[in-house]
Amino acid sequence: MSSGIVFHLLAALAYAVPGLLLWRTLGRGGTVSAGKASHVTLLTALVLQVTALHGSILAGDTLQLNWALALSAATWLGMSMYWLENLVLRADGLQLLLLPLAALTCLLAACFPEAQIVAHAGNPWLRAHLLISLAAYGFITIAALHSILMAIIDRHLHRPLDTAAALPEDTSGRLSIFERLMDSMPPLLVQEQQLFRLIWMGFSMLTLAVGSGSISSLQITGAVLPLDHKTIFTLLSWLTFGGLLLGRHIRGWRGRVALRWTLTGFAFMLLAYSGSRFVIEVILQRG
């Protein structure tokens, strides 16, 4: 068993255990609050995951990558961003969603360890392109999750007052857990500012990814933008997020409009690499 698999399994455990404890605390009527121990635990999980990624992607003098490792790397970048932001802006409730997701991506990376050697990995522009692309994936992944959470909170706040009274008695426990989950979240205005900060960072990284990818492609193949699935979906994602930010600036887009655009751009991002590679490597069993 390779070191990448071992450390990915350890990282999955490091994410899953505190996640289960948080849900257990919430289920027993407690509040979700991340103290110093939680920050240290999350940092430990991040260190384990980046060690796994280093052992899996940088194997010897080669550069290896597959769809599961790409998801793991993107998740690691997003979780690192969350860890840094949570030191300033408390958003402890997000861990209830992020920790299970991070554990799942680590398990996927451990279950699908077979990776392909990246051709022309010695090209510095290609290496920079891969790093920048993964950073864009990470920022946009967290932005997509953040927008979903905001939509849930917004729907909860605008729910008719008599909805709770109309629920059967045996669902009161579930409702109380949901209520406590909503109460643990920061105000929507603060979350909206954080969301568009993530989108700006993701769009900036995506712009750099398109530029560095064009340069590396020109050096390697002689074509600036090869017409493949990755290029098409990447450009669609770039146009989607660019349109969202333009609409935000000109027309003040927010709420459900921002949610739809964010999730559409995120879907294009997944299809740009992870989706297409998953079909090729897992379903079609081709390299």
Q: What is the per-residue pLDDT for 111?
A: 92
Q: What's the chain's average pLDDT?
A: 79
CA distance 118 to 98: 29
Mean pLDDT of 245-273: 88
Residue 167: band (very low, low, confident or very high) from pLDDT cuts 50, 70, 90: very low
Q: What is the pLDDT of residues 266-281, one digit of tens each?
A: 999 888 865 545 554 4
Tell me which of 157 and 204 has the higher pLDDT. 204
- Name the percent of the chain lying above pLDDT 70: 77
Least confident of 80-94, 100-114, 134-148, 250-264: 80-94
Name residue 219's amino acid: Q
pLDDT at residue 251 greater than cutoff 60: yes
> Can you read off the two tokens belonging to residue 73?
């790397």
pLDDT at residue 159 greater than cutoff 80: no
Q: What is the per-residue pLDDT for 110?
A: 93
pLDDT at residue 248 greater than cutoff 70: yes
Least confident of 57-71, 192-206, 249-263, 273-287: 273-287
CA distance 198 to 268: 17
DSSP H or E run through 117: strand 116-117
Q: Are strands 64-65 and 116-117 parallel, antiparallel or unpaired?
A: antiparallel
Q: What is the per-residue pLDDT for 283?
A: 46
Residue by residue, DSSP assigns 68-108 as: HHHHHHHHHHHHHHHHHHHTTS--GGGHHHHHHHHHHHHHH
Q: What is the pLDDT of residues 67-92, one digit of tens each?
A: 788 889 888 988 888 888 777 766 66
Tell me which of 197 and 159 has the higher pLDDT. 197
The tally of domains found in the chain comes to 1
Q: What is the per-residue pLDDT for 89?
A: 67
Least confident of 50-54, 150-154, 238-242: 150-154
Q: What is the pLDDT of residues 24-37, one digit of tens each?
A: 877 776 666 666 77
Tell me which of 228 and 287 has the higher pLDDT. 228
Mean pLDDT of 200-215: 92
CA distance 154 to 103: 27
CA distance 98 to 142: 8
Residue of 17, 181, 212 whose CA lies nearest to 99: 17
- β-bridge partners, 65: 116
Identify the domain containing residue 101 by its residue range.
3-283
Q: What is the pLDDT of residues 111-139, one digit of tens each?
A: 988 777 766 666 778 878 888 887 888 78
